Every structure is written in structure tokens, then in C-alpha cells.
Amino acid sequence: MSSMESVLKKSFGLETFRPKQKEIIESVLKKHNTLGVLPTGSGKSLCYQVPALILEGTTIVISPLISLMQDQVNTLQEKGINAQYINSNMSKKDQEDVDRLVFNGEVDLLYVAPERFNSSEFLALIDSIHIPLVAFDEAHCISKWGHDFRPSYQEVIPVINAHINDAIKVALTATATEDVEKNIVDLLNIENDHVYKTSVKRDNLELIVNNTYQRERFILDYLNNHKDDSGIIYAATRKETEKISGFLKDNGIDSLIYHAGLSKKEREENQYRFINNDVKVIVATNAFGMGIDKENIRFIIHFNLPGDLESYYQEIGRAGRDGKMSQCILLSNSRDILLQQFFIDRSPASDDVKESMREKLDRMIQYKETSKCLSASIVKYFDKNEYVEPCGMCSNCLNVNRTVDMTKEAKFLIELSKDYEISPEKAIQILRGESADNIIHASLHHAKQYGSLSNYLTSEVHHIIEEVVYQGYLHLKNNTLYLVDKSYRVLDDLDKVYTVTYRTQFKEKVDVSTETSFNESLYQQLKDKREELAVEKNIEESQIFTDTLLKEIAKKMPENKSDMIKISGIGNYKLKHYSPHFLKVIEEYKK
């Protein structure tokens, strides 16, 4: 038995590692900077706790929440592990006692908040001891593109590099989009070979979107039908939590509340009572939940729309940690969007980060309104290259309105993808029979499927492609459509493909191109303009427009700001500060 397995069994009482835990630990022990992206409840902490007990010296764990580090240290101490924390709530004497233990080599794991690195005493302490490993818990806080960016997390990196440059760095998070992942990898000097991810898909979570106008009535009925179940009701504001809890009390249902406006004692007491099943229901803001170790949470209801899918995924991830089926229900109304927009406008973040927050809110709204599988939608949000199949149990998969037969259209698409290696954009052009330069130049107008959906709108063909991908009949990877085993069930007439009503009108075949970007020359001119602006403003090119967005602009060739704002990913800030430069390039190109 290796030292990894023996530590796992002896110190944590576990027989086997969960997916990717072993690979992450091995990478760390081989002295590689490493990133682990593992779903909430999948044992991220073990990925640095096990190496900390194998490596000589004191591992430092940077943790964002005082309550979280206290809970983790208490749990470790109960297992007989030498763990301590230092935070601003401690008395000077208690801090000095921990310092002494650390200095004497009696601490294997030391948990600190990033702000601790501003203390000259702390820096003197870490200079005097051997630190083999620095772990960044909740590592999405490092990235300004993350949903919970904390500047102190990013500011700590140069300090660590200056004082403990030879320490291995391991970053762990449950919620990293591709932008966030790339940002973490760049900041912590992690090679792509040492990034380990598992799918965000949780097979035991039943996802439901309910657009009821009677949210309080829905919650009351739900709780009366699930009296033995434990769950969290999330609300967007403190006032809303008080209001919901009062409504439940008036209707004979006992619940606790949790938000940042309560005293520390009251928050701790309510959390303790909920975890110990004294009260089944807690109504809370998003201040509640990080590090909550309660396995039998059977439901999570969001009374309001969250600001982004990362927060939503992290919050619903607290359900069903025991592996049993649990429900995650999203309620909301139109005022929720205005509230989230207000939060963004009031945020102290920079303009480009606010723009990113607006884009994330747009994706959250799309999730609420989509007709596609909710589970697949979340998977594709975090990893657009992952193959998805419908979960078969979310509210969209069970939608009785999924009755429109689109098998014929699906077959055209699958046959086309079998004959050619193409992107969804090119598939739309071919199926609609567009006579664009890039199609003619590549002789794609000779494809037998060319024009087979000539009386369909671009948006309708786009809907068909998304449905076929999200139902698992094609795989979309690196923006290319690939056949899978399931594709042949449609080609062989074994499966029919159904969707919701989506045809809006019939339209005559048009010669306007869906993807004029390859008109490579316009795309290149837009890239040149972006580079010029990035140098002038001293920012990264991707902060202006990503390559994907530039391609979209080159496809659609907007003529004015009204056209530009319709392109997904362009909000008010980018419209005002960057768009005029690109509109000018397009105008010149058209001339």
C-alpha cells in the first residue's frame, strides 16, 4: 500500500480515492503546480490534506472564509491531525500560541486568509520554516473573471513567489469556466498537463425551473409535501429571507434564517441547529453554505434568480451529498433581473469585470428560459467540449410540449456532419443554401444537403443543431460537429427526434451569409484593430473582444450600435468604448 493510500485510510478512515483525487495528489507529490476542478462535495480538501501529511514541513492553506477554515481545522483536529488556523478573530495571545507551534514544526496544515500575508510578523514566520505546499482553496476567487473574485487572493501570489518560491502550488475549485481556468493557470504558472477536471454533471440532482407567479404558495405546498426533508431556500436579499421565514411561520412551518445582518452568535447557532436536524428548513442569502458539511439536504429552492450560473451551481451542489436523489428548484420573476442588474451597477468592480458580470447574468437568464436539458446546459456552460446527453429527469426533459417531430431535419444535419468536418455556423450556411464566399470557395455548395432547409431562418436551424447536440445525437467539440454511436439510431430510423415548437415563420431562401467571417480579410482587419486598441489602453486583447466575438462581428457585419448590441457578449460598456472603432473598420471594408 502506497503512502497515499495508507494516509487516506489511517488519517481519514477512507478506503479509496474519488475520481481525479489520486491524480491531483500524485501531481503535487511530483512537485508540479496543479489545478483541480472538482464538483462541490467531491472531496477537494483531501487533494491538499493528504500531501500535507506526506510532505515534510507545514502546508499553508489559503481559505476565503473564517468560518470555513475553523470548521475544517476542527474536523481535522478531531481526526488527530496537526492543523491550526490564524485569523483576525483571534486574540493576540492565541495567535502567538499558534505561531510558536508552527515555528516548532508541530503543525502540518496552517489555514490562513489571504490578508494574513500583509502582516510582517507572519512573513517573518514563514521565512523561518519549511513550506512544501501552498493550497488555494476556492481558487475561483483568484480570477477576476470568477463569480466571487477577491482581489486579496490575487495580490497574495507575488508575495508567495517572493517568500516561498520553491513551494508547490495547488489550486482547487468546483466552479471554473474556461476563462477562469485559463486565468488561474496563468497566474499560478500551471502547465495544462497538470489540470485535472471531472464533469460537473450530478446524476442525483433533479433540476427544475418553475416560472410560477405564486412563489410563496409554491414553497408552502412543497414544504407541506416534504415534511421529513431537510432543505435550503435561497433568497437574494436579507429582507426577502425575513419575509419568507415570516410567511412560513404564519403558516405553521418552522424555519431558521441566515444572513450577514445577524450577529455572529445567531448565525452560528442557526447553522448548528440546521446541520443537526433540529429544524429542517433554513432560509438564507448566499452568505450561507460554503463548507456546509450536511449530507442529507434533499432540496434547494432559489426564490430569486442568482447572478450567474457559477453561484447557482455551487449553491445547488450542497444538495444530495449522500448520493441520494435531491431536487433543485429555480423560481424567479422579472424583478429579479432588475435586482441583479442593480447589484452589478453598484459593484466596486472595474468596468470590464462589470461587463463580464452582465454576460454571466445573460447566461443565467438563458438557463431559466431554455427549452433544452437543464443538466446538459450546465455541463456545456462549464465545458463546451464535453459530450452531453439529456438527463431525462429535469423539468425540460419532462416537458409534455416536446412534441414537434424534427427527425427529418436532424437527419440532414447528421448526414452533413458525417460527410464533412464542419462547424455549426457552416452547417447553418450549407443547410440554408447560402451562396457565401467561404462556402463556394470550399465547394460546400456541392454537398447533397445544400439548401435542404432553405426556407428556415438562421435561428431555426441553430435551434435544430443545439437540440441534436443536447439530445446527444451529435458531439460538439472545438466548434466541430462529430458523429457518435447514437447518431446512427437516427440515420437507421430507430430513433425519432422531438423538440418544442420553434418554427416562427417560413422564409424564402436568401443569399445573406450567416458566417461572412471567413471573408478572412475582414476578421484579420478586426484583429489588427483590437491589437492596436489593446496596446493603446494597456490591456489584454481578450478584454476588448474575444476571438469568438470578433468572428461573430465579422459574420454579422453590424452597421451601427443598434446592430452591435444584438450580438451576444456585447454590453453597454463595450458598446460605448470599443464598438465605434470596429464599426469604422466594417464600414471601410464594405466600401
Domain shared by 7 and 150, yes or no: yes
CA distance 372 to 380: 11
Dist. CA 560–CA 558, nearest whole Å: 6
- Checking if the pLDDT of 507 tops 80, the result is no
Is the domain of 373 the same as that of 433? no
Residues 466 and 530 in one domain: no
On whether residue 387 sits in a domain, the answer given is no
Q: Residue 483: phi, psi to the nearest 5?
A: -80, 150
Counting residues of the chain whose pLDDT is more than 70, the rounded percentage is 96
* Torsion angle (degrees, nearest 10) of CA 402, 405, 411, 413: -60
The alpha carbon dihedral of 448, 449, 453, 458 has a sign of negative
Closest CA to 115 of 107, 106, 123: 123
Residue 152's pLDDT band (cuts 50, 70, 90): confident
**In a shared domain, residues 151 and 298:** no
In this predicted structure, the answer to whether residue 235 has a pLDDT above a threshold of 80 is yes
Same domain for 304 and 376, yes or no, is yes
The verdict on residue 337 lying in a domain is yes
- Rounded to 5 degrees, what angle do the CA atoms 47, 52, 54 make? 105
**Number of continuous H segments (helices) and E segments (strands) in the chain:** 26, 17
Q: Which of 556, 303, 329, 323 lies closest to 428, judged by CA?
A: 556
Non-local (6+) Cβ contacts of 144 within 8 A are 151, 154, 183, 349, 350, 353, 356
Domain membership flag for residue 398: no
- The least confident of 41-45, 452-456, 536-540 is 536-540
Q: How far is CA 277 from CA 119, 243, 259, 296, in A?
A: 40, 23, 19, 10
Residue 62 has what pLDDT? Answer: 94
Torsion sign over Cα 551, 555, 556, 557: positive
Among the three residues 475, 495, 514, which one is the final residue of a domain in this structure? Answer: 514
Taking only the tens place, the pLDDT of each residue in 237-288 is 999 999 999 999 999 999 999 998 999 899 989 998 999 999 999 999 988 8
pLDDT tens for each residue of 175-213: 888 889 999 999 999 999 999 999 889 999 999 999 898
Coil, helix or strand at residue 476: strand
Cα–chain-centroid distance for residue 253? 34
Domain boundary among 481, 514, 547: 514
- Predicted confidence (pLDDT) at residue 158 exceeds the cutoff of 80: yes
* Domain of residue 434, CATH code: 1.10.10.10
Domains held by the chain: number: 4
**Domain range for 35:** 3-197
Query: What is the residue-averaged pLDDT of the chain?
Result: 89
Distance CA 171, CA 298 (A): 29
Same domain flag for 212 and 156:
no
Q: Are 83 and 109 in contact (CB under 8 A)?
A: yes
* The pLDDT of residue 509 is above 50: no
Based on the domain organization, do 179 and 235 belong to the same domain?
no
What band does 513 get if pLDDT is binned at 50, 70 and 90? Answer: very low
The pLDDT value recorded for residue 508 is 42
pLDDT reported for residue 90: 87
Compute the distance between CA of residue 30 and CA of residue 75 in angstroms, rounded to an integer: 27
Q: Is residue 395 part of a domain?
A: no
User: Tell me, what's the pLDDT at 289?
Assistant: 72
Residue 77 covered by a domain: yes
pLDDT band at residue 512 under the 50/70/90 scheme: very low
Lowest-confidence segment of 55-69, 131-145, 525-539 by average pLDDT:
525-539
Task: Tell me: pLDDT of 519 over 60.
Answer: no
Are 505 and 552 contained in the same domain? no
Using alpha carbons, select from 109, 97, 104, 102 the residue that is nearest to residue 60. Answer: 109
Q: Hey, what's the cell of 174?
A: 468546483
Q: What is the pLDDT of residue 571?
A: 78
Q: Tell whether the model's pLDDT for residue 511 goes beyond 60.
A: no
- Are residue 122 and residue 217 in the same domain, yes or no? no
pLDDT score, position 1: 40
**Is residue 397 one of the residues assigned to a domain?**
no
Query: Please, is 465 exposed, middle or buried when counting C-beta atoms within 10 Å of its C-beta (0-12, 13-18, 19+)?
Result: buried
**CB within 8 A of 579, min separation 6: which ones?**
561, 564, 570
Residue 534 domain-assigned (yes or no): yes
Give the list of residues 6+ apart from residue 221 with CB closer than 8 angstroms, or none.
none
Q: Residue 520's pLDDT band (boundaries 50, 70, 90)?
A: low
Region class of 18: left (phi > 0), else alpha (psi between -120 and 50), else beta: beta
State whether 346 and 444 are in the same domain: no
The answer to whether residues 234 and 155 belong to one domain is no
Tell me what pLDDT residue 2 has. Answer: 54
CATH number at residue 578: 1.10.150.80
CB 35 within 8 A of CB 182: no
Alpha helices in 134-233 (DSSP H): 151-163, 178-187, 215-225
Q: Is the pTM higher than 0.85?
A: no
CA dist., res. 591 & res. 581, Å (int): 16
**End-to-end Cα distance, the chain:** 72
Question: Domain with 250 in it: what CATH number?
Answer: 3.40.50.300
Domain end marker among 514, 532, 549: 514
pLDDT attached to residue 518? 46
Question: Residue 408 — very low, low, confident or very high, per pLDDT cuts 50/70/90?
Answer: very high
Q: Which of 137, 136, 149 is nearest to 179 (CA)?
A: 149
Tell me how far apart the alpha carbons of residues 545 and 518 are, in angstroms, rounded to a whole number. 18
- Classify residue 372: in a domain, yes or no: yes
Long-range contacts of 140-144 (CB under 8 A, 24+ apart): 140/173, 140/175, 140/176, 140/180, 140/184, 140/310, 141/64, 142/171, 142/183, 142/184, 142/187, 142/188, 143/176, 143/179, 143/180, 143/183, 143/184, 143/187, 144/183, 144/349, 144/350, 144/353, 144/356
577 and 553 within one domain: yes
453 band by pLDDT with thresholds 50, 70 and 90: very high
Higher pLDDT, 326 or 357: 326
